[in-house]
Amino acid sequence: MSLHYDVLIIGSGLAGQSAALRLADGKKRVAVISKRTVDVSASAWAQGGIAAVLDSRDSIEAHIRDTFEAGSHLNDPTATRFVVENGRRAIDWLIDQGVPFTRGEDGYHLTREGGHSARRVIHVADATGLAVQQTLTEKLLAHPNITVLENHIAIDFITGDKLGLGDRRCYGAYALDTASGRVLTVGAPATLIATGGAGKVYLYTTNPDTSTGDGIAMAWRAGCAVANMEFIQFHPTCLYHPKAKSFLISEAVRGEGGILRLPDGTRFMPQHDARAELAPRDVVARAIDFEMKKRGLDCVFLDIAHKGRDFILHHFPNIHARCLELGIDITREPIPVVPAAHYTCGGIVTDLAARTGIDGLYAAGEAACTGLHGANRLASNSLLECLIFAEAAANDILAQPPRALPELPGWDESRVTDADEEVVISHNWDELRRFMWDYVGIVRTTKRLRRAQHRIRLLMREIDEFYANFRVTNDLIELRNLVVTADLIIRCALQRKESRGLHFSRDYPETAAKGRRTVLRPPRRAG
């Protein structure tokens, strides 16, 4: 089955939805592929808020400086200024869409998070991403120019190289309808990757199950460069509870006075950094990891109870409710927390118009490496980046002249059969996530990375053989993408001979005088 649109957007988080609305308002016929239902995304899980200069006591220069400080000065200056200077306009657009940001006595309430020198994080209580997503989803589903393909997963891009045309252009993608098992050919002169990150490559993550590095892996196979994949942000405070899955305790809890303690109540962050609990995430995550390993702890504790019940219920109603469901009353007792894989700072190399190295193919959000985050993302810069580069992509697409599509072949299943042993997929999935956690985690060594690389190569051969012989399924597609993404993370990590930001190596503990991006380019090949 073949479908044709003006623009294909893969992913239904904030980057995908905001781009779709801008393009559809510009009279483009847009298809949005959503792996699950359209409301399931990492954006919807974002609690803290969106960083932007909205207060007269704050400044563009201060936000840029904080972003550089968090990113260990590996940030791209032009991209960083581009994002920060457009922050207020992005927030105004969300307000125009109807997002109900929390108000204070003198306008919108701004909170402060780790790494920020001022209060500049606008939010909707402690569920900002969900509120933004719900607001945009309602508009998305009602827009006459937008077609949403739920429960579809993209497999690979259709490029001029693969069609034998000899041009480096994207003409759409193949996508599996997971309900029917049919593979669709979705053609479009412009395609936007908005698939999010790759947190599920690790055993413990704050990300939803959909975060399997799909867009990054597909772009790499299509011939795009990727950069800085070694910089995986581990959120310091994921709820530690056997019945809690991937529940994040917002950065704002520390920003509003939360204190990290050992089981005996001792505060430990001042011994690790002068900024204590307000240090950037990489510093806090390493400090927690150090204390847990040194003392043989399963977790540490984040205490906000001293701020009082009314304060907590006003600022963190959702965190309070979720913890209470699990028997933890955060107004009276501390929250057990552990670090968990949270954000992929690297990704597909893009420019200020969100263009990749392949014509007609764009990327925005966590799947892209714009240069904003450097070696570590500053808290609440992620949703801002989604908005800015989704708009940039939409503007560039709208400025392009109309382009006809070549004839696109259908998906070929003539040489494959149904899988005889699904256990191969589940076993490889478990093995991959566990050794990535053990060998490519918060603290790394060259020996551990080499061990992980050896296992990756074995897994890649097994998965490629499985993919070549059996019909695609959602699990197989995700596993294939995860192993590619894991390989990219390891390859970038092995190239970095220093410790910087989120990449800490015991073999190279010093930070080099001059930081450089780690860029990987795939070999040019057809097919």
Question: What single letter denotes the amino acid at residue 235?
Answer: H
- Contact between 224 and 239 (Cβ < 8 Å): no
Say how far residue 76 (Cα) sits from the centre of its chain.
19
Catalytic residue among 281, 322, 444, 455: 281
CA 503/CA 500 separation, integer angstroms: 5
281 is catalytic: yes
CA 307/CA 310 separation, integer angstroms: 8
CA 155/CA 218 separation, integer angstroms: 7
CA 303/CA 261 separation, integer angstroms: 7
- Contact between 137 and 38 (Cβ < 8 Å): yes
Element (H, E) at 389: helix 382-399
Long-range contacts of 173-182 (CB under 8 A, 24+ apart): 173/8, 173/10, 173/33, 173/218, 174/411, 175/33, 175/149, 176/152, 176/472, 176/473, 176/474, 176/477, 177/149, 177/151, 177/152, 178/151, 178/152, 178/153, 178/473, 178/474, 179/151, 181/471, 182/1
- The SS3 call for residue 261 is strand
Write down the residue that tokens 């847990």 correspond to: 292
- Four-CA torsion 295, 298, 300, 301, nearest 10 degrees: -140
Question: What single letter denotes the amino acid at residue 101?
Answer: F
Question: What single letter denotes the amino acid at residue 104?
Answer: G
DSSP 8-state code for residue 365: G
Give 265-328 as a 3 state SS string: CCECHHHCCCCHHHCCHHHHHHHHHHHHHHHCCCCEEEECHHHCHHHHHHHCHHHHHHHHHCCC
CA 108/CA 280 separation, integer angstroms: 25
Question: What single letter denotes the amino acid at residue 516?
Answer: R
Q: Find all residues with CB under 8 Å of 183, minimum gap 6, and list them.
A: 155, 174, 175, 176, 177, 410, 411, 413, 472
CA 504/CA 516 separation, integer angstroms: 15
For the four alpha carbons of 430, 339, 64 and 195, in that order, the dihedral sign comes to positive
| Cβ-based burial of 524 (10 A; exposed 0-12, middle 13-18, buried ≥19) | exposed
Q: Which of 22, 28, 23, 24 is nearest to 5 (CA)?
A: 28
CA 7/CA 255 separation, integer angstroms: 40
Q: Which of 410, 409, 455, 446 is nearest to 428 (CA)?
A: 455
Residue positions annotated with a catalytic role: 281
